[in-house]
């Protein structure tokens, strides 16, 4: 089955710097790659996603890149702010798997003012 590896497990940056979180997946049939943000005491919330027919997607300060050949995808956050501090999860899903997502283990991002 699908396996998703996420690195790093913790990341600390200064406010205004960029943050990059990387994930690899094992099943070449995976075609959907979302990123979720989880704030303390809350459920995860989708922040951006990408499908396998696209190489990059941006939404203001957040971008995701996908390399299908290497089977990895990354989350890029530019001009980080203290409110970006949270746990971020990547995930992967296979078409026809009835929406089942396999999640990475998470990255705790801390943005220092």
Of the pair 25, 36, the CB lying nearest another protein is at: 36
Widest Cα–Cα separation across the chain: 44
Q: Which of 41, 60, 70, 113 binds another protein (CB under 8 A)?
A: 41
Q: What are phi and psi of 82, to 5 degrees?
A: -55, -35
Query: Strand 10-14 and strand 107-112: pairing?
Result: parallel
| 14, 40, 42, 69: which one binds another protein (CB under 8 A) | 42
Subset of residues 44 to 73 that bind another protein, contact rule: CB under 8 A: 44-46, 49
Q: Quick one: which of 55, 58, 56 has its CA closest to 47?
A: 58
Site of interaction with another protein (CB under 8 A): 6, 9, 32, 34, 36, 41-46, 49, 89, 93, 95-106
């Amino acid at each position: 089955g699908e396996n998703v590896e996420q690195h790093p497990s913790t990341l600390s940056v200064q406010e205004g710097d960029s943050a990059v979180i990387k994930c690899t997946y094992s099943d070449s049939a995976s075609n959907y790659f979302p990123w979720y943000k989880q704030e303390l005491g809350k459920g995860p919330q989708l922040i951006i996603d990408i499908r396998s027919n696209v190489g990059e997607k941006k939404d203001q300060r957040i971008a995701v890149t996908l390399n299908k050949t290497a089977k990895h995808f990354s989350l890029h956050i530019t001009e980080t702010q203290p409110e970006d501090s949270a746990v971020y999860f990547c995930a992967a899903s296979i078409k026809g798997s009835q929406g089942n997502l396999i999640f990475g283990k998470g990255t705790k991002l801390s943005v220092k003012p």
